[in-house]
Amino acid sequence: MNKETFAAQFQEKLLTTFSKRPDEATNKEAFQAIALLVKKEVNSNWQKTKQVHLSNDEKQMYYFSMEFLLGRLLETNLLNHGWYDVCCETLHDYNFEPSEVFSEEADAGLGNGGLGRLAACFLDSLASLNLPGHGIGIRYKYGLFQQKMVNGYQVELPDYWLKDDYMWETKRSEKAIEVRFGGEVNPTYVDQKLTFDHVEFERVLAVPYDVPVVGYGTDNVNTLRLWSAESTTNPFHFNSVHGKDYYHYLDYKRSVEKISEFLYPDDSSYEGKLLRLKQQYFLVSAGVQSILNQFKKTEQPISELPEKISIQINDTHPTLVIPELMRLLMDEEGLGWDQAWDLTTKTVAYTNHTTLSEALEKWPEQMVKELLPRHYMIIEEINERFCQGIWFDHPELREQIADMAIISYGQIHMAHLAMVGSYSINGVAKLHTDILKERVMKPFHTLFPDRFNNKTNGITHRRWLLHANPELANLLNETIGKNWIHEPKELINLLKYVADPSVQAELARVKRKNKRHLASYINQHYGILVDEDSIFDVHIKRLHGYKRQLLNVFHILHLYHLCRENPSLNCTPRTFIFGAKAAPSYHFAKHVIKLITTVATKINNDPLIKDKLKVVFLENYNVSLAEKIIPAADVSEQISTASKEASGTGNMKLMMNGALTIGTQDGANVEIGAAVGADNIYTFGLSAEEVFEYQATNKYRARDYYNSDQRLRTVIDQLVNQSFTQDDVEFKDIYYSLLFNNDEYFVLRDFDSYVEAQQLIDQTYRDQASWLKKSATNIAHSGKFSSDHTIMEYANDIWKISQSHYSKS
Ligand SMILES: *Cc1c(COP(=O)(O)O)cnc(C)c1O
């Protein structure tokens, strides 16, 4: 596509859609016109891709996830399709500023954090690698809340991302599916065969909205299918359940619409809500039914199912696929238990994302029984057979049956169900998988050693480098050529140049430019002037105790104290940048946010500090904001309590953009450290083994660290001595959690080694040649964390799907 053709089509779209000339169109209209152009082009490839998959009879993979944190799609679609440059040139020609046009697109924030963003990166890699893999999710009317800061506090506003129509979706009413809730199941014999008659249930219509997933430099287009809940409009159905009362109908309609209304904002703790269970079953039932419908069109025997379909469940949220597939195979397809179980357990694979006990999903038996009576029967039977199997075939595990049971003490343990009912169980970083095998899921590993495997998370280098950091991408193209875009491991070729002064100078120039860009954003939105020569120290992720934003704040307060004590102190200027949302009901996390903003106000307005320290809290951290911050980062804060962060992916994005990691030996930090070498990462703190040791022996005394370390006493006392606010209860909860609840996350224990690592950063940064060499070394090793590699491992080891041969037409 050349510029003239693109410009002509752009003009025509504006005219036919809005009856406007380019000089009359608003940014939003320009955005919509371009999105329509792209969509039209993509549609024909999309259709072709489906045809190819069908006629080649290829095995398909479906990635079930309650979250897809997509962010914006226009720029990456343009880039993947090869239209990015012509589009920007055309916009310029018509006096549009492309970045303003692109930012008219609402972020699709259908996820909380890492887990949802992982699903989005995987879709990008699947499509770009010509793999037949698709996403199945929920079309929430409201995505993750918008965070607004008011007087330093987080306020949550609804994220009505659909207000302007979503340009990428296509509603497919003809593919709607009925999902049934509640009612009763009556086992009856029909022709001497036991059948299960489900009656008096509530009907919900699941309507799919399909979003095309465009691959980079290929005509392959996969599908993300998002389900929306609608009430059935068939009055016959309605009368049979609710009688004819119109007001009851309105209640019913409202209760149905709620199912796909909100994304749960609880990142890593379990919300015991009936509605959440409804959402999970809604996703699962609609998704599995539509897959089976598609499969049955091919007229293959049902026994071929595992040869043609793999279902990956992203954490335990979609675990009900196991009993749902069992139900459909038995009750609808007429299979017996054994064959249904054989097929199900060869089709479903499970990814574990957490070992935090508060995040392991459990549902009350009674709730499942009432909402999903037939599934409850099936889960009971699975549990019965599973426990008996251990008793008879694995006497060595008899003692542990109570710990392994799927149903115990009135609760259904979804992780247990997921492990028993799937053929693959994977962790998301080496350390995490080892912890699963040796600790958290040890008896299951004894029972099913072959099911366990590791798949370290990854990120798409197309969004997080090529798109987010075009200046760095250019530098790479000029230094090592463009092959890294198709084969990210080729970034390793940069190693030859890490000490090359001209490459270092260019790298410094690019980083400086990105920092200037972010600095001007900060000035525009917050009126804070930050020093572009200061270290940009970046801590961006959900706010959680285990992620230890508090440890970062303590270091800042410590530096602040040093600078005030000694105004001529020779410290390298730093800008501390935070971005984080707290779950609305997570009070501790909200106190930490308020602490950050309070400290920021204090330090930024202290004339004694001048430009030495600045603290900035950027509101509403989301994918688009991440794309602005990450290219400008010098330091990447990855300081979780060891053993708690399953993998992390923010660590990978920042490394790929040349930031140096200060991190604990946790999650994928361990693999990042192994790749770049100890000289190119700042590792500190307790190891996972040491954390487990403390937990087992109860030997940690937070108070001892407070009593013996004057620096900690100074910092912690400030929480309650009105240093920051007249209100002396504001930070009392934090104070108590440390000194009276014994500091669950070992903040005080790791403080000393954290400060030491930060001092090393302070010194190294002054030696720019040394710093830039480390930065370039990180970029060079970041290719192995591309989700392309992660996805190829899933494809080869778990899904057994193969790449189609496409060429760019
Ligand atoms: C990558 C990403 C995350 C995950 O960050 P971690 O540091 O791995 O917790 C969360 N939110 C957004 C918007 C992201 O882009």
Q: How far is the CA of 534 from the centre of ligand 1 (A)?
A: 24
Atom 6 of ligand 1: nearest residue by CA position: 650
Q: Compute, in angstroms, the gap from residue 650 CA to the centroid of ligand 1.
A: 5
pLDDT value, residue 255: 92
Cα of 540 from ligand 1 centre, angstroms: 7
Ramachandran angles phi, psi of 798, nearest 5°: -110, -55
667 lines ligand 1 (CB under 6 A): no
Buried b (16+ CB within 10 A) or exposed e, 4-36: eebbebbbebbeeebeeebeebebebbbbbbbb
Look up the pTM and report it: 0.97
What pLDDT does 809 receive? 45
Share of the chain above pLDDT 90, in %: 92
Q: How far is CA 807 from the centre of its chain?
A: 31
- The lowest-confidence range among 434-443, 522-531, 715-724 is 715-724
CA-CA-CA-CA torsion for 107, 108, 114, 119, nearest 10 degrees? Answer: -140
Tens-digit pLDDT profile for residues 211-253 = 999 999 999 999 999 999 999 866 555 555 555 577 788 888 9
| Catalytic-role residue among 134, 139, 353, 374 | 353
Q: Encoding tokens for residue 237?
A: 């159905």
The tens digit of pLDDT for each residue in 258-311 reads 999 999 988 777 777 899 999 999 999 999 999 999 999 999 999 999 999 999
- Name the band, by pLDDT with cuts 50, 70 and 90, for residue 795: very high
Range 673-692 average pLDDT: 98
The partner residues of 212 in beta bridges, in order of sequence, read 223
Rg of the chain in Å (alpha carbons): 27
Of 390, 380, 276, 393, the C-alpha closest to 326 is: 380
The letter for the amino acid at 239 is: N
722: left (phi over 0), alpha (psi -120 to 50) or beta: left
Task: Note if 653 is an active site residue.
Answer: yes
Cα(380)–Cα(420) distance, integer angstroms: 13
User: Which ligand 1 atom lies nearest to the CA of residue 114?
Assistant: 4
653 alpha carbon – ligand 1 mean position (Å): 9
Name residues whose C-beta falls within 8 Å of residue 786's C-beta, 6 or more positions apart in sequence.
Answer: 125, 458, 459, 460, 461, 488, 489
Contact 43, 223 (CB under 8 A): no
| CATH 3.40.50.2000 holds for 57-72+107-150+170-457+793-799 | yes
Question: Rounded distance, CA 735 to CA 731, Å?
Answer: 6
In this structure, of 75-84, 250-259, 285-294, 745-754, the range with the lowest mean pLDDT score is 250-259
pLDDT of res. 54: 83
Spatial neighbors of 608 by CB under 8 A, at least 6 apart, are 563, 564, 567
- Interval between CA 111 and ligand 1 midpoint (Å): 10
Contact indicator for 440, 413 with CB cutoff of 8 Å: no
Closest ligand 1 atom to Cα of 71? 13
For residues 290 and 43, the answer to whether their CB atoms sit within 8 Å is no
- Among the listed residues 141, 542, 555, 591, the single catalytic one is 542
CATH topology of domain 461-785: Rossmann fold (3.40.50)
Q: If you take atom 9 of ligand 1, which residue's CA is the nearest one? A: 541
Please indicate whether residue 117, judged by its CB atom, sits closer than 6 Å to ligand 1: yes
> Residue 71: is its pLDDT beyond 50?
yes
Nearest partner of 799 among 50, 55, 52, 59, judged by Cα: 59
Ligand 1, atom nearest to 647 Cα: 8
Q: Determine the pLDDT at residue 723.
A: 86
Arithmetic mean of pLDDT, 553-567:
96
Q: What is the pLDDT of residue 241?
A: 52
- Kindly state if the Cβ of 624 falls inside 6 Å of ligand 1: no
- Bridge-based pairing state of the strands 170-171 and 202-214: antiparallel
How far is the centre of ligand 1, averaged over its atoms, from the C-alpha of 649 (Å)?
Answer: 6
Catalytic residue among 374, 547, 555, 773: 547
Query: Catalytic site residue 394?
Result: no
**Residue among 69, 428, 635 whose CB has most ligand 1 atoms within 8 A, to mutate:** 69
Q: Where in the chain is the domain with CATH 3.40.50.2000?
A: 57-72+107-150+170-457+793-799, 461-785
Beta strands in 238-383 (DSSP E): 309-314, 348-351, 362-364
Q: In whole angstroms, how far apart are CA 426 and each of 437, 450, 455, 679, 798?
A: 10, 11, 6, 31, 9
**Amino acid at residue number 29:** E
Q: Mean pLDDT across the stretch 669-697?
A: 98
Find out whether 539 and 615 touch, Cβ atoms under 8 Å: no
Res. 490: pLDDT tops 60: yes
